Structure formats: C-alpha cells, structure tokens
Amino acid sequence: MKNGGWLKFDGTYKSYLGFKRKWAMFERTHLQQQNPKEKVQQFMEYCLEKEAVDYNWRKEDMESAWTMLDTFYDRPLLFVEDLMDKLKSIRVIRN
C-alpha cells in the first residue's frame, strides 16, 4: 500500500475522535491480514505527526499505541472549552 492511501492524523484533540473512528473502518477494510508489528510501524510512519510518533515510538501493537494516543488526545473537555470560546466570540445580532 502506498503512503497516499493511509489516513493522516493532524495531531489535534479536535480531530482525534474522528480520526480514531475512520482508522477503525480503514483497518477493517484494508489491514485485516497484515502483520501486527508491521501495522503499528506503518501506522506511526504514515498516519501520525512527529509529536504523536514521539509518544508512541516503542509501541509494538495497535492496542498499546491507541492507549498512549488516548492519554494525550482524547480530551473532550478541551474540545468543549475551545467550542465555548468560539461561541463567546460571536457577535450578538439584535433586531
């Protein structure tokens, strides 16, 4: 599989859950027969930004890689706070 066919995570908590859902579908569709060690190596090489790879550099299976990524990026409170900040910045339109 060429690099261009892999999903890419942008390294933000805002897109993390969507990336994780898309990855699950991609993995079921394209990677069922792949060697687990190769899969995690290619995942880190093709799908993750450098910062995320730095967190995962010793992971040998997808479960431990996701556990580490969850620790850093599964942050719903930050997502809500960011959304609230954006809502607060919207000007009120009065009739």
pLDDT class of 2 with cuts at 50, 70, 90: very low
- Calculate mean pLDDT across residues 50-79: 81
Structure tokens of 59?
Answer: 């992971």
Distance, in Å, from the CA atom of 47 to the CA atom of 15, rounded to the nearest integer, reads 13
Contact yes or no for 46/5 (Cβ under 8 A): no
0.75 exceeded by pTM: no
pLDDT class of 56 with cuts at 50, 70, 90: low
Distance, in Å, from the CA atom of 69 to the CA atom of 78, rounded to the nearest integer, reads 15
Count other Cβ atoms within 10 Å, centred on residue 65.
23
Residues in the chain: 95
Kindly state the helix (H) or strand (E) to which residue 88 belongs, with its residue range: helix 76-88
Contact yes or no for 44/59 (Cβ under 8 A): yes
pLDDT > 70? residue 1: no
Selection from 9-23, 41-55, 70-84 with the highest mean pLDDT = 9-23
